[in-house]
Structure 1
């Protein structure tokens, strides 16, 4: 019975994280229309993903040393506090800061959720339970865009940050009340040097990728200094980790073949996921002129098929092996990515839904496999670190993806509007922001609206081509996996 309540708490926490990630997509254009700063839109995603990326392995290691429960509680509290503050933000800069706080909480919450599953369920049941967890992502991904779009159109974008609060509080209660872990008391050493070098290095790298070509020129002294700091700190991090008694990120995990290849595939697939959920609403609302509810509806097939794919993936990894399952998943993702390359403003909405459905089926198949591989390839003492490493790689892929994709689109818009006119039509930054606001876009002259939406369409087309290339690389990466089912407890490889 207790295990059932714990599972309910973990499912709710997963729903919390998933619903937050999906409702923000349809709200993005409206946030720009309200707060302005279309050039800062990518930072609404980047700030969250960056702080989640740098804190995920730290919290994962702490959970191995001090227990899963304290980390879960701290992560939940920070995540909920950040959610409330995001809903109260009065400017784009404030929203970005509060999203960063949310990300710190998610860095503790998300990986520990999967680790607890690995702790309380034997390998025979783990595939099924991980399928449930992935199914919640699918269900909440379906509810999120639809509900988020409806609320944005009917009430205000601020309300989308309140969806996860009641679920988070209930999840926190279940874990506090029913989860009692048995921790061996042992002398531990926190890898402070690794934490500092890793945090500074990754933060500098992602900051440089997010601002390069936008706030700062690629060859500017500031940006060159940032990248130099990133290289030096990351080099120092690898040196420190090889010598640390209790390394923050056990680099020896990469000596395990399946862990190494699955993490590469996770990195690429996660970049595609954030590209689709963050910038597809821009296509629907900016290019097609539809509302947020419509963008959520067109994303719904991805969520439904993610649910189907995750259930199938949990079964196939046992019956058909990890390489077969993940290869089918990445091939489907590649088909969906290539399909979007050929969409235009005249493409029927039914075809957009088809390509999103194919994408979702591929995500469901592949992400389920990657999580199970991370847990089944190591023993208890490294399970938290291995799961956190996989979660970190996914968040790193999303962070780099949204930073690079945002840079591509912003540079295209800036280039097309640099002269202050496009095809003889005068254009201002406020006009670009108005394109994404349902209220303000009505005030734009028809000729200006047509001009701006075609500028945005061309920028998104370039983005879809890049995403198709990344999907092809993902297919190649999973060929390195061994085609086998997860090993039974006690027969795993130790790094």
Structure 2
């Protein structure tokens, strides 16, 4: 399968010169950054922080959670609008249960932060997250919307723990002058994960969608010339009515299958995150008696 990225309105394959050049440039600047940080008297990112197991695992988890969670915010609205035929407004509002679930997860994670270890809480997080993502991967054109809502609450609840736990775990037992660096590094890696996640998984879904369209229209007259534009525009109510039912049905099934397959592929980094959690150790927030009385 040949994956591709769209740059400047043009589509380039992964093995094309512009894409290889971008990867090569990234590698060069990445190495240069590390060399500069090692030699700097006051580095932006003290690399010795990664020698601390809890700090290192927290950064890996932020990266993986960010790279997978962003997929939900992108593809669930597209699924609702393209497969269910909802409006752009409804597609945006559909994420509300997931966001409420994340608020609940973040709050519960913060409440129990002093009761048990970061690892135990993150185990609850990854179980909920993985189950929710798996169920989202089973969606079909016939799945009831209330089931989609439950799946979103489940996945949002799991991700919510990471919002309160991972920044705190990053700063655990660090000197005051390093806590700001630790917190900002955690936020940066979550954002970096989102950037890579939406790029990689966006390319995967786009290619899966194209392949399934070709398969669906294989053998039909003119199928080789069939072109598909932006589904977020084509699947508007005004445009759906112009598409013949038998063609619309094939497009909807292709879109549904490509998105759900993409959700299932995110279980790979989620599985890596599950393994990473077990290396967090038994560290937990300890509140002194003096602080408790205060």
TM-score (norm 2): 0.87
How many residues align? The count is 281
Aligned equivalent of 2:122: 326
Pick from 101, 104, 124 the counterpart of residue 308 of structure 1.
104
Contact 2:58 2:169 in 1 (8 A): yes
Which structure: greater helix fraction? Answer: 1
In structure 2, the CA distance between the partners of 1:422 and 1:298, relative to structure 1 (3 Å rule), is: farther
Aligned equivalent of 1:261: 57
Divergent runs of 4+, >6 A: none
Residue 255 of structure 2 is aligned to residue 450 of structure 1: no
Gaps of 5+ in 1: 1-207, 490-495
Deviation of 1:340 after TM superposition, in Å, equals 1.3
Gaps of 5+ in 2: 289-294
Contact 1:409 1:459 in 2 (8 A): yes
Contact 1:434 1:441 in 2 (8 A): no
Contact 1:435 1:453 in 2 (8 A): no
Task: Please give the residue correspondences for 1:213-224 in structure 2 after superposition, counting only pairs within 5 Å.
Answer: 215-224=11-20
Question: d(CA) in 1 for partners of 2:187 and 2:4?
Answer: 20
Deviation of 1:429 after TM superposition, in Å, equals 3.2
Pick from 284, 289, 293 the counterpart of residue 85 of structure 2.
289
In structure 2, the CA distance between the partners of 1:412 and 1:217, relative to structure 1 (3 Å rule), is: same
Q: What does the per-residue CA deviation read over 1:154-179, in whole Å, with 9 as the maximum and x for residues that have no partner?
A: xxxxxxxxxxxxxxxxxxxxxxxxxx
TM-score (norm 1): 0.53
Pick from 353, 373, 389 the counterpart of residue 149 of structure 2.
353
Aligned equivalent of 2:271: 472
Contact 2:167 2:183 in 1 (8 A): yes
Pick from 126, 137, 152 the counterpart of residue 341 of structure 1.
137
Residue 281 of structure 2 is aligned to residue 485 of structure 1: no
Question: d(CA) in 1 for partners of 2:232 and 2:250?
Answer: 14
Contact 2:204 2:262 in 1 (8 A): yes
Q: What does the per-residue CA deviation read over 1:221-264, in whole Å, with 9 as the maximum and x for residues that have no partner?
A: 22222212211221121111111112122211111111100111
Aligned equivalent of 1:437: 236
Deviation of 1:416 after TM superposition, in Å, equals 4.5
Aligned equivalent of 2:38: 242
Contact 2:97 2:152 in 1 (8 A): yes
User: For 1:365, what is the secondary structure of its paired residue?
Assistant: helix
Contact 1:287 1:345 in 2 (8 A): yes
C-alpha root-mean-square deviation of aligned residues, in Å?
2.5
Contact 2:101 2:160 in 1 (8 A): yes
Deviation of 1:209 after TM superposition, in Å, equals 8.5
